[in-house]
Structure 1
């Protein structure tokens, strides 16, 4: 399984979004990677949907509350990670 990564698509006309893109992507990616490691380590045969929900919850738990409140994860990426964990590929 490849390492999880968060990619943001800021408004190209918004200089603040463009400036914060890199640091925010780094923080979100770090939280997602840590969440993936924790969920993988604690996996005990839970169903896919449970693992997917755990990934989202663990990722948000690793973020500042203001960032977590605005974080809308790419559910395709979360599902991909959950499938890899359930299949033992991660």
Structure 2
């Protein structure tokens, strides 16, 4: 199991988003973890770049459309998760 973690930069958040930061981080992390699990199950030799894109797309499907539209994840975290999926498959 890959253990992703989404952390939001409070400096980039609106006042409302700052108030909801904890629950929003939890929701985003949960969506990313679900996406990682699903992608791990169907991994078929894709490279890191391909998996990173799949992770983003799949994560967004598990979010409310408004949240998905604004979700700009840390690319390093997505890459870390993609690399973990590949490493586990070997």
Q: For 1:55-90, what per-residue CA distance to the aligned partner results, in whole angstroms no more than 9, with x for missing partners? A: 01001111000000000011000011111111226x
Which fold has the larger relative contact order, with Cα–Cα distance below 8 Å and residues 6 or more apart in sequence? 2
Q: Unpaired runs of 5+ in structure 2?
A: none
Task: Name the residue aligned to 1:52.
Answer: 52
Higher share in helix:
2
C-alpha contact (below 8 Å) 1:7/1:25 kept by paired residues: yes
Q: Match of 1:88, SS?
A: helix
In the alignment, structure 1 segments of 5+ residues that lack a partner are: none
Question: Please, what is the CA RMSD of the aligned residues?
Answer: 2.1
Normalised TM-score (structure 1): 0.87
